[in-house]
Structure 1
Amino acid sequence: MSDSAKSAMVSSSASTGLAITDPTGFAKLGVQLPALANILAQAIQALALPLTDSQQRTLLLYLDQLLLWNKAYNLTAISDPVEALVKHVVDCLAIIAHLPAGSLLDIGTGAGLPAVIIAICQPERQCTALDSNKKKIRFIKQISSELGLSNVTPIAARIEAHEGQYEVVTSRAFASLIDFVDAAQPRLAHGGRLCAMKGKAPTNEELQALEPQWQIDTIELNVPRLEESRHLIELSYKNV
Structure 2
Amino acid sequence: MTIEIPSALSAQREPLISGLNTLGLDGDRLSEPLLQYLALMLKWNATYNLTAITEPYEMVVKHVLDSAAMHASVRDLAAQGGSIADLGAGAGLPGIVLSVIYPELHVTMLESAGKKVRFMREAIRQLGLPHARAEHVRIEAYRPEVLFDAITARALATLPELIRLGAHLLKPGGELLAMKAVFPAEEIANLPAPWQVVADQELVVPFLQAQRRLMRVAASHG
TM-score relative to the length of structure 1: 0.83
Q: Which residue of 2 aligns with 1:83?
A: 58
C-alpha RMSD of the superposition: 1.7
Confirm whether residue 25 of structure 1 aligns to residue 3 of structure 2: yes
Kindly state the Cα deviation for residue 211 of structure 1 after the two structures are TM-superposed: 7.4
Q: Pick the aligned partner of 1:221 from 175, 190, 203.
A: 203
Q: CA deviation at 1:214?
A: 2.5
Tell me the distance in 2 between the aligned counterparts of 1:160 and 1:218. Answer: 26
Q: Does 1:42 align with 2:22?
A: no
Select which of 74, 79, 83 maps to 1:103.
Answer: 83
Q: Deviations over 1:113-164 (max 9, x none)?
A: 0110010000111100110001000001111111111211110000111012
2:190 to 200, 204, 209: 209
Distance 1:73 1:46, change over 3 A: same
Q: Structure 2 unaligned segments of length 5 or more: list them.
A: none
Question: Are 1:107 and 1:173, in contact at CA under 8 Å, matched by a contact in 2?
Answer: no
Give the structure with higher Rg (CA). 1
Distance 1:85 1:68, change over 3 A: same
User: Given the alignment, which residue of 46, 50, 63 partners 2:38?
Assistant: 63
Q: Deviations over 1:164-213 (max 9, x none)?
A: 2100100114232211111111111111111111111112x222222742
Instruction: Report if the CA contact (8 A) 1:106-1:114 is conserved.
Output: yes
Change (3 A) 1:163 1:173: farther
Q: Is 1:162 equivalent to 2:139 in the alignment?
A: no
Distance 1:226 1:75, change over 3 A: same
CA deviation vs aligned residue, 1:79-101 (integer Å, no higher than 9, x gap): 10100110000000100012251
Aligned position for 1:132: 112
Distance 2:57 2:117 in 1: 24
Q: Do structure 1's residue 198 and structure 2's residue 180 form an aligned pair?
A: yes
Q: Is residue 177 from structure 1 mapped to residue 155 from structure 2 by the alignment?
A: no
Aligned residues: 213
TM superposition outliers: structure 1 runs of 4+ over 6 Å:
none
Residue 55 (structure 1) shift: 2.6
Structure in which a larger fraction of residues adopt strand = 2
Instruction: Work out which structure has the larger RCO, using CA pairs closer than 8 Å and 6 or more positions apart in sequence.
Output: 2
In the superposition, the TM-score normalised over structure 2's length comes to: 0.90
Shift, 1:68, TM fit: 1.4
Q: 2:190 is paired with a residue of what secondary structure? A: helix
Q: Which runs of 5+ in 1 are unaligned?
A: 1-23
For 1:52 and 1:222, locate their aligned partners in 2 and report how far apart those are by CA, in whole Å: 16
Aligned AA (1:30): S
